[in-house]
Amino acid sequence: MDEKIKEHLKLLNRYYLLLLDTQKLSLEEFKTDQIRQGSTERYLHLAIESCLNIGNRILAIYQFEKPIKAPETYADIFKELRLIGVIDDDFSQRLIKMAKFRNRLVHLYWEIDVETIYAIIQEYLDDFIKFREKVVDFLKNNPL
């Protein structure tokens, strides 16, 4: 497996484990802990960036096997991963939303409320594990 992909998979796992601690908190505990809120937003951002970096690296390597369209946006990375068979259509749609949320975290951070971050951690945190598993399966079956 490509070393850069391996490194980002390790980082993704690290961020997931840190976010898992937040998942155990009640909404009220989370609302009263501004330090936890800030660190959760940051680790969520970093986990999303890791997924994007992994996807981009796969596409960069895969382009030597078959012609693929270069992604123009972060969401396009997940669209292209779907086209080459890393992820299915339903999961691709969730990851596209993740990429768009990354842009909100970075560019419109003042519009993000505590309840939204908490809901994402409660409902979608395991998407990072699912993404990791899909990537590993793809790379086992399609050595690049």
Q: What is the pLDDT of residue 47?
A: 98
Q: What is the pLDDT of residues 79-89, one digit of tens each?
A: 999 999 999 99
Q: What is the pLDDT of residue 59?
A: 97
Q: What is the pLDDT of residue 144?
A: 73
- pTM confidence score: 0.94
Domain 3-141 falls under CATH 1.10.3720.10: no
Q: Using CA atoms, how far apart are residues 9 and 13, in angstroms rounded to an integer?
A: 6
Q: How far from 77 is each of 51, 69, 87, CA to CA, in Å? A: 10, 10, 11
CB 71 within 8 A of CB 80: yes
3-state secondary structure of 25: coil
Q: What is the pLDDT of residue 143?
A: 80
Q: What is the pLDDT of residue 129?
A: 98
Stretches where the chain sits below pLDDT 70 are none
Give the tokens for residue 117. Answer: 């971050």
Domain ranges in the chain? 3-141
Give the tokens for residue 26. Answer: 């009640």
